[in-house]
Structure 1
């Protein structure tokens, strides 16, 4: 199969390497060009998979999409909207697109863009990337871990099982279909932990003080994370989803025995340090609010569900950061009142 990978941070090249190892051909494109700088005809791979992977580096996105039978988009949430607007006119009718991960309700944005062009394609929304990876050098990526059972939803919703099988064929992992893309948006348990840690360590972050996130998962922080997670799970249940609780997700991601969160925090700290962000301009912290907690509040308001602690956390983080954190560009043009029908069928053609 010919796969176009759009995004060349760490996940994109690592996913490309795995697909190549399974006999697929891959074109790799970087939205700004920097991600592919230094990659020649082959990408060096270390970690779980070691060796080299032959990839076609595409300077132009149209070249990456040429003859593609599937497309994987893996870019940060702040870049996802601009990338989808840029590539939508070049996507071929019927070619499946996988967002790895999906952010907010991005599948509906892409579906709307395709509908405006008279085209359609199944769009997959992965709750998390299928792997953990780091970029060791311009031409080297280290694959740290592969994730089994990643949740994947789709627009239209009925396409989820087929896209789960497509992802399994590409990456050799199991994927768990979800009823609709709201499930993928609510499955981002990391936003809960990021928010709790940011509130409890704001002065360390602001002062650029080196700190260990696992070591700072104190009992108080764990209590806050547990209660935020309870509101996330309650909203999911109200919307018809049974999602993975935070401790279960951490157990699967880190190979730990599931236990109360405070006890798991000690086990995580013993595994090794996880450096915390330095500076209030750390993009992923704001994105956890914008495309995580703030999105959940919008969904909850539309359904009449109260999330008082989540609302308070967003307000406190906005006060600490001194700026609004709720501007979700991936919801552009979306009528939340039409959400159930859009999730099921996509936008009218």
Structure 2
């Protein structure tokens, strides 16, 4: 299968290498161009997958998409909206588009863009990327871990099983289909842990100190994260979703035995570094607050789910950062009153 990978930070090249290792052809494109700098015809791969992976570096997105049988979009959350708007007119009819990881309700945005043109394509929402990776140099990527299982949902929802099978064929691990893309938005555990860590380490962040996230998962931080996570799990249940807990998510992604969070944290800290934020850049919090906690608060209103600790976390982070962190551009034009129907059927053509 020919896969177009849009995004060349760490996840994109890592996912590309994984797909190539399974016999697929990959075209790699960077929205700003810099991500593919230094990549020729091969990626040098280290870590849990080692060797070389032949890739085609596309100089523009049209060439990346030409002939693609599937598209994987893995760009930072602030870039996701612009990338989806850019590629929508170029996507071939019926070719699946996978967002890895999906942010907010971005699949509905892409579905609406396609609907305006009277076109169809299943849009997949991965709750987590298919690899945990880092870039060591221009053409060197280290794959730190492969998740044991990844949740995936689709717009329209009936395509979930098909996209789960497609992802399994591309990347190898099992993919669990969810009832709808809202489940993928609620399945991500990273926002609760990230928010707890940031709240407990803001002076380190502001001073630009080097610090490791796993090493700073103290018992107090773990308690805060678990309380935030409990509100997320309650919200998911109110929408009919049974999503993995924070501990289960860390087990899947980090490969450490599931247990008390402080014990898992010590195992994660010993296995690999996880550098914390440096500097009060609001963009660094977008994935956790804008497209995570703030989205959940908005979803909690119609189901009357109390989320006081989540609301407090967002308010305190906004106060410390001195700016609003809740403006979600991926919800632009979304009709929340029609959300149940849109999740199942997508937008009218």
| TM superposition score normalised by structure 2 | 0.97
1:278 maps onto 2:278 in alignment: yes
Per the alignment, in what secondary structure is the counterpart of residue 3 of structure 2? strand
Matched-pair contact (CA < 8 Å) for 2:72–2:98:
yes
Per the alignment, in what secondary structure is the counterpart of residue 339 of structure 1? helix
Give the RMSD, CA atoms, in angstroms.
Answer: 1.2
Per the alignment, in what secondary structure is the counterpart of residue 258 of structure 1? coil
List gaps (5 residues or longer) in structure 1.
Answer: none
Matched-pair contact (CA < 8 Å) for 1:11–1:133:
yes
Corresponding residue for 1:73? 73
Residue 73 of structure 1 deviates from its aligned partner by 0.5
Residue 158 of structure 1 deviates from its aligned partner by 0.9
Which structure 2 residues correspond to residues 131-146 of structure 1 after superposition, within 5 A?
A: 131-146=131-146
Corresponding residue for 2:336? 336
Corresponding residue for 1:221? 221
Per the alignment, in what secondary structure is the counterpart of residue 46 of structure 1? strand
1:155-184: per-residue Cα shift (whole Å, max 9, x none)? 001101100100111111111111100110
Corresponding residue for 1:174? 174
1:232 maps onto 2:232 in alignment: yes
1:185-241: per-residue Cα shift (whole Å, max 9, x none)? 011101000001111111111111222222221221111111100000000000000
Corresponding residue for 2:256? 256
List gaps (5 residues or longer) in structure 2.
Answer: none
| TM superposition score normalised by structure 1 | 0.97
Corresponding residue for 1:190? 190
Corresponding residue for 2:85? 85
Corresponding residue for 1:130? 130
State the distance in 2 between where 1:173 and 1:265 align.
24
1:115-137: per-residue Cα shift (whole Å, max 9, x none)? 00110101110001011111111
Corresponding residue for 1:115? 115
Residue 282 of structure 1 deviates from its aligned partner by 6.3
Shifted more, 274-283 versus 244-253: the winner is: 274-283
Corresponding residue for 2:104? 104
Residue 263 of structure 1 deviates from its aligned partner by 3.0
State the distance in 2 between where 1:215 and 1:41 align.
38
Per the alignment, in what secondary structure is the counterpart of residue 67 of structure 1? coil
State the distance in 1 between where 2:8 and 2:123 align.
20
Residues 272 and 111 of structure 1, relative CA distance in 2, 3 Å threshold: closer
Corresponding residue for 1:294? 294
Corresponding residue for 2:160? 160
1:301-335: per-residue Cα shift (whole Å, max 9, x none)? 13222111100110000001000000000000001
Corresponding residue for 2:207? 207
1:312 maps onto 2:312 in alignment: yes
State the distance in 2 between where 1:42 and 1:272 align.
26
Residue 252 of structure 1 deviates from its aligned partner by 2.3
State the distance in 1 between where 2:179 and 2:315 align.
31
State the distance in 2 between where 1:5 and 1:209 align.
34
Matched-pair contact (CA < 8 Å) for 1:29–1:57:
yes
Per the alignment, in what secondary structure is the counterpart of residue 215 of structure 1? helix
State the distance in 2 between where 1:217 and 1:145 align.
20
State the distance in 2 between where 1:46 and 1:222 align.
31
Residues 250 and 73 of structure 1, relative CA distance in 2, 3 Å threshold: same
State the distance in 1 between where 2:54 and 2:92 align.
24
Matched-pair contact (CA < 8 Å) for 2:147–2:255:
no
Q: Tell me how many residue pairs correspond in the alignment.
A: 349
Shifted more, 126-135 versus 250-259: the winner is: 250-259
State the distance in 2 between where 1:209 and 1:53 align.
36
Residue 273 of structure 1 deviates from its aligned partner by 4.1
Matched-pair contact (CA < 8 Å) for 2:145–2:255:
no
